[in-house]
Amino acid sequence: MAARIVFFLWMVLLFVGCKSNQYDPSLPPKGFANNISLKIAYTLGAIEPTITKVAIPESIQEHKNLVYKTIDTTSLKLDIYQPKALKKDAPLIIFLHGGAWEKGRKSNVLHYLISYAQKGYITATVQYRLSGVAKYPAQLLDVSDAVEWLKSHAKEYNINAHRVAIAGGSAGAHLAMQYAYTHSSNTMDSTGLPSNVQAVINIYGPSDLTTEIAKKEKRVHRFIGKTYEEAPEMYKEASPILYVNKYSPPTISFHGTLDELVPYGQSKKLHETLKSYGVPSYYHELKGWPHAMDLSAKVFSYIQYHTDIFLEKHLKL
């Protein structure tokens, strides 16, 4: 018993010490041996949380609840954030919220939106129909219509419609990838603008819904509206990795090895597939971190640091 108490106290000191240390955001933050030690650290307050509830700075202009589409009497909305001092067109980053396709709201990614608007980008977040309201491909159609709306209103909001990135975490990353890889060719939308995007930011998103784990996941069943046995083709149609080709946009992926909801092998396989087609791909495997790992301030900083480099290369300001 005494040995266990000593070990527990040692763990407390270790975690608290780790919390107070200086951190280099270019380096992967030290993770945990397993989900048990992770939960202990979280319970002890040893993981510094990301500040997600942020105020709108004076320097940022907010355009909130712009209706981009009305369907079945429901108005779907999006928000735009941009620097007030913006003098010329700027690249756009569209952030899609997660929530297993069945919950969440566009404001969930406000901390990403404000951070990148302060760096000089125009950012947007999109409301899409959740799986309790409509089944796939309703969500993809909503994202497609939102991207088209943003491009068609590019002049009004100083958006460079030829420099667009799409990003998301978890289910939001799935929809971001699905849009990007199904619109890889330089085809025109109804507004006469190219429908493709120039970059993808994948934060622990599922890229393949035909894996054994995905086939059995009830949240995927609710998203598709049927089990894999009932509609295998729909699971294939909803898998972004199956649309990757040589025209797919550059992609950066972040995934934790303790992710029990979306195994990190999803992003690893996506990276290998993109590389096989010659598409620029950057895979960041964070050892000892779980799903929703960017709720840790250190992981959030790491993701932003490497995303900044990625965007500077593929979506220059």
**Would you call 46 helix, strand, or coil by DSSP?**
coil
Note the pLDDT tens digit of each residue in 79-105. 999 999 999 999 999 999 999 999 999
Between 21-25, 158-162, 233-237, the lowest mean confidence (pLDDT) is in: 21-25
pLDDT tens digits, one per residue of 174-221: 999 999 999 997 677 767 789 999 999 999 999 999 999 999 999 999
Q: Read out DSSP for 77-129?
A: EEEEEEETT--S-EEEEEEE--STTTS--GGGGHHHHHHHHHTT-EEEEE---
pLDDT at 138: 98
Q: What is the pTM of this model?
A: 0.93
The full 3-state SS of 167-211, as one line of letters, equals EEECHHHHHHHHHHHHCCCCCECCCCCECCCCEEEEECCCCCCCC
